[in-house]
A = this chain, B = another copy of it.
Amino acid sequence: MASTNKPVESEYKSSSTPVLHASAPAGVDYFKFDVILRFLLFAASLVSVVVMVTGNQTLNIPLPLSAKFRYSPSFVYFVAAFSVSGLYSIITTIASLSAIKNPTLKTKLLLYYVLWDAVILGIIASAVGTAGGMAYLGLKGNKHVNGWNKICNVFDKFCRHVGGAVGVGLFGSIVTVLLICLSAYSIHSRVPK
């Protein structure tokens, strides 16, 4: 919008250079996007943990039968992993907010972000994998193994919750990949050409 109002100013710059670069010689500052993405990771972690934990279901057919996340080690790992990532995202959101006010620490902070984001990505991606695999087994069963039948035709509410939690967890993993990309690009923009 602004570029159409100022056709004269663009003559001073080469056509490929964005206007933002002129005011930020020390690298482009993406900490606002960083805060937004970290908040999204926090929201995804919170939602996936809550949806997974609240999925408990008890049926009386005719004996009482119940499905709880804590009956499966995969789902316990899922809840533990996203609790860790939720806590981590709170801490790093605070760090990013303070870095917006105090620009001297930024480059070092971005390096630590890449390192720890990669560790968190490994944890939550494996949690999504294990919970997703177990949910798929509950949904379809495995006809090659005698007795490993599907259970989602019985525990419908539980399976909906597990599926929702896995979906939100997958979204959180993608957000973490984007966070790593953003931090790396942000460090890269500080390297002199």
Chain A residues at the B interface, C-beta cutoff of 8 Å: 27, 67-68, 71-74, 77, 107-108, 110-111, 114-115, 118-119, 121-123, 125-134, 136-137, 140, 142, 144-145, 147-149, 151, 173-174, 176-177, 180-181, 183-185, 187-188, 190-192
Contact = CB atoms under 8 A, between A and B. Distances in A.
6 contacts: A67-B144, A73-B133, A77-B133, A115-B184, A122-B125, A126-B126
Contacts of A147: 147-149
Q: Which of A67, A118, A174, A177 has the most chain B CB within a 10 Å cutoff?
A: A118
Nearest 5 A/B pairs, CB to CB: A129-B129, A126-B129, A130-B133, A147-B147, A114-B184
Contacts of A67: 144
A177 B180 CA distance: 11
A13 to B, nearest CB: 20
A144 B56 CA distance: 13
Nearest to A130: B133
B187 A133 contact: no
A149 B74 CA distance: 16
A134 to B, nearest CB: 6
A111 B142 contact: no
Given A125-B126, A129-B126, A111 B185 contact: yes
A173 B134 CA distance: 21
A133 B184 contact: no
Contact of A107 (B119, B122, B149, B191): B191
A177 to B, nearest CB: 5
A147 B114 CA distance: 44
Contacts of A183: 184
A118 B115 contact: no
A15 to B, nearest CB: 20
Given A129-B128, A173-B122, A142 B180 contact: no
